[in-house]
Copies of this chain bind each other. A is one copy, B any other.
Amino acid sequence: MAHRSAAFVAVDWGTSHLRVWLLAADGSILAERRSDQGMAATPREHFESVLDAHLDALAVPADIPVIMCGMVGSRQGWVEAGYLPVPVSLDRIPDNAARVDGVARDIRILPGLSKTDLAAPDVMRSEETQLFGLIRLSPVADDMQRIVCMPGTHSKWVHMEGTSVIDFASFITGDMYAVMAAHSVLHHSLSVDPVDPKSPAFKTAVEASLNSPADFLARLFSIRAAGLLHNLSPADARASLSGCLIGQEIAGALPRFSMPDKIDLVAGNMPGTLYAEALAIAGIQCRSHDGDALVIAGLTGAATALWKNRSVERGGTSR
Interface residues of A (CB under 8 A from B): 75, 83, 114-116, 118, 120-123, 153-154, 169-173, 175-176, 179-180, 182-186, 213-222, 224-226, 228-230, 245, 248-249, 251-253, 255
Contacts and interface: CB of A to CB of B under 8 A. Distances in A.
A230 B83 CA distance: 13
17 contacts: A114-B225, A115-B225, A116-B230, A171-B217, A171-B218, A171-B221, A172-B185, A172-B186, A172-B218, A175-B184, A176-B184, A179-B179, A179-B184, A214-B248, A217-B245, A217-B252, A218-B252
Contact of A176 (B114, B217, B225, B251): B217
A225 B230 CA distance: 40
Contacts of A173: 217
Contacts of A219: 120
A184 B245 CA distance: 15
Contact of A221 (B172, B182, B217, B251): B172
A185 B153 CA distance: 9
Contact of A218 (B169, B218, B225): B169
A121 B217 contact: no
Nearest to A214: B213
Contacts of A214: 213-214, 248, 251-252, 255
